[in-house]
């Protein structure tokens, strides 16, 4: 059983990708931390979520010594396909940018992170309840919580709020000092996971009058497909047959013929929305990942932004402990948000270009959408812009 320290330089709330990677990067800088996670280890390791790792995120993981399985088992993708009006266009990442993405499930990445944490001896306290954070405006914050019925307190120098969209950290910034920006799109994604070979070696993003569809994968035997559905839909409304028939209808005929269908092993409905909270810092509290921002899944940026946030934060904390300088910490919120907003923009662009907007009756918007897609198909410059953003902007 992990011993709960009474003091740690950094108390990290949330043991998802942001919290675990931060703890590991701090360990490499010689900074001790403790991770406090609400859920059990099995629950965190079982969550099926993101699957596309940007070039830069993959490099960070490799440099940190966490990339062995990602290199051996991840799938390097040098491009994606976009389909529209029966035509298929390849966005050639390698040719346009010299970079690629890696398809590697978040569940696998989380496993690698937890293995790294365990090997480094970083305390990961799971199943904590009732987290309370005090004194973040002073130089000596503390975090209290209940663990297996006992109340505990950890004194620290800094608190990292990495507790995702439903966490408590973001509300620690006083209302009058924070601002949030939100866009909820009028549709959701219905996702299906199946033990079937992927329909294509590369992801397919399909724009169709019936709605958007995405063909993705986890490995050669496991596919992940999504179709755009109504905002208020439920999983119960999507029996496998309905899902497969809707997906087939949205793909070009040749691709649809190659689609291998099978029983779903997981099905989800996920909202499509953007939310950004500013600033990402209050006193000695620093937010990172989904605790600070959410993006629509269209651009595959959520997990990658969690990585870039914690890279900036670990560098700033490393600088503070090695030189005493607070300049990196003072710049953290602005630096992270500058990158976040570019990912929000890209995710908005992808979402707006590829989905149908129900009930708008706005032919002007539809004409713009068609013009945007035609431009992408015709212009190498447009494709380069998409490729550059998809593989990830510099960290």
Ligand X SMILES: Cc1cc2nc3c(=O)[nH]c(=O)nc-3n(C[C@H](O)[C@H](O)[C@H](O)COP(=O)(O)OP(=O)(O)OC[C@H]3O[C@@H](n4cnc5c(N)ncnc54)[C@H](O)[C@@H]3O)c2cc1C
Written as six digits, the tokens of 258 are 């190659």
Written as six digits, the tokens of 77 are 């993708």
Does 296 contact ligand X by CB under 6 A? Answer: no
Is 239 a catalytic site residue? Answer: no
Contact pick of 168, 256, 370, 385 for ligand X (by CB under 6 A) = 168
Return the range that interacts with ligand X (CB under 6 A); candidates 45-53, 146-154, 243-251, 348-356. 45-53
* Torsion (CA) 278, 279, 280, 286 in degrees, nearest 10: -150
Number of helices (H), then strands (E), in the chain: 12, 19
Q: Is 206 helix (H, G, I), strand (E, B) or coil?
A: strand
Return the range that interacts with ligand X (CB under 6 A); candidates 271-279, 300-308, 313-321, 324-332. 300-308
Written as six digits, the tokens of 328 are 């990196």
Listed residue (53, 87, 55) closest to 205, CA to CA: 87
Contact pick of 97, 304, 314, 347 for ligand X (by CB under 6 A) = 304
Contact pick of 11, 25, 38, 213 for ligand X (by CB under 6 A) = 38
Does 50 contact ligand X by CB under 6 A? Answer: yes
Return the range that interacts with ligand X (CB under 6 A); candidates 46-54, 147-155, 227-235, 379-387. 46-54
Nearer to ligand X, 97 or 169 (CB): 169
Does 270 contact ligand X by CB under 6 A? Answer: yes
Strand partners, 152: 145
Phi, psi (5° rounding) for residue 278?
Answer: -130, 145
**Distance from CA of residue 26 to its chain's centroid?**
21
Contact pick of 131, 276, 311, 329 for ligand X (by CB under 6 A) = 131
Does 156 contact ligand X by CB under 6 A? Answer: no
Is 141 a catalytic site residue? Answer: no
- State the residue for tokens 């709330």: 13
Q: Could you give the CA distance from residue 19 to residue 211 in angstroms, rounded to a whole number? A: 35
Does 10 contact ligand X by CB under 6 A? Answer: no
Say if residues 89 and 81 touch (Cβ distance below 8 Å).
yes
- Name the site residues for ligand X (rule: CB under 6 A): 13-19, 36-39, 44, 49-52, 106, 128, 131, 162-164, 166-168, 268, 270, 289-290, 297, 300-304, 306
* Residues noted as catalytic: 77, 205, 297, 301, 390
């Amino acid at each position: 059983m992990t011993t709960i320290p009474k003091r740690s330089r950094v108390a990290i709330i949330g043991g998802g990708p942001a919290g675990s990677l931060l703890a590991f990067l701090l360990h490499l800088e010689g900074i001790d931390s403790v991770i406090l996670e609400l859920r059990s280890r099995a629950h965190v390791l079982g969550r099926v979520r993101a699957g596309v790792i940007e070039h830069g995120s993959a490099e960070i993981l490799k440099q940190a010594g966490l990339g062995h399985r990602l290199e051996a088992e991840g799938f390097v993708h040098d491009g994606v396909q976009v389909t529209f009006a029966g035509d298929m266009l390849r966005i050639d990442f390698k040719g346009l940018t010299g970079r690629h993405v890696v398809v590697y499930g978040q569940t696998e990445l989380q496993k690698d992170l937890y293995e790294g944490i365990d090997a480094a001896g970083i305390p990961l306290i799971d199943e904590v309840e009732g987290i309370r954070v005090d004194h973040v405006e002073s130089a000596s914050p503390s975090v209290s919580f209940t663990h297996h019925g006992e109340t505990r307190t950890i004194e620290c120098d800094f608190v990292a709020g990495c507790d995702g969209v439903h966490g408590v950290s973001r509300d620690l910034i006083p209302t009058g000092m924070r601002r949030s920006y939100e866009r909820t799109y009028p549709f959701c994604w219905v996702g299906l996971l199946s033990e079937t070979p992927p329909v294509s070696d590369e992801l397919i993003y399909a724009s169709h009058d019936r709605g958007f569809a995405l063909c993705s994968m986890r490995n050669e035997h496991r596919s992940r497909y999504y179709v755009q559905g109504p905002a208020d839909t439920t999983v119960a409304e999507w029996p496998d047959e309905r899902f497969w028939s809707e997906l087939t209808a949205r793909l070009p005929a040749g691709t649809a013929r190659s689609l291998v269908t099978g029983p779903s092993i997981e099905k989800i409905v996920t909202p499509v929305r953007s939310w950004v909270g500013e600033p990402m810092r209050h006193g000695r509290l620093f937010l990172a990942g989904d605790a600070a921002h959410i993006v629509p899944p269209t651009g595959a940026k959520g997990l990658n932004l969690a990585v870039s946030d914690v890279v900036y934060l670990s560098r700033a904390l490393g600088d503070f402990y090695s030189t005493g300088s607070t300049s990196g910490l003072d710049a953290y919120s602005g630096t992270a948000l500058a990158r976040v907003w570019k990912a929000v923009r890209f995710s908005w662009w992808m979402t707006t270009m590829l989905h149908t907007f129900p009930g708008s009756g706005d032919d002007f918007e539809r004409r713009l959408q068609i013009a945007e897609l035609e431009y992408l198909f015709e212009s190498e410059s447009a494709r380069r812009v998409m490729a550059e953003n998809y593989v990830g902007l510099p960290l």
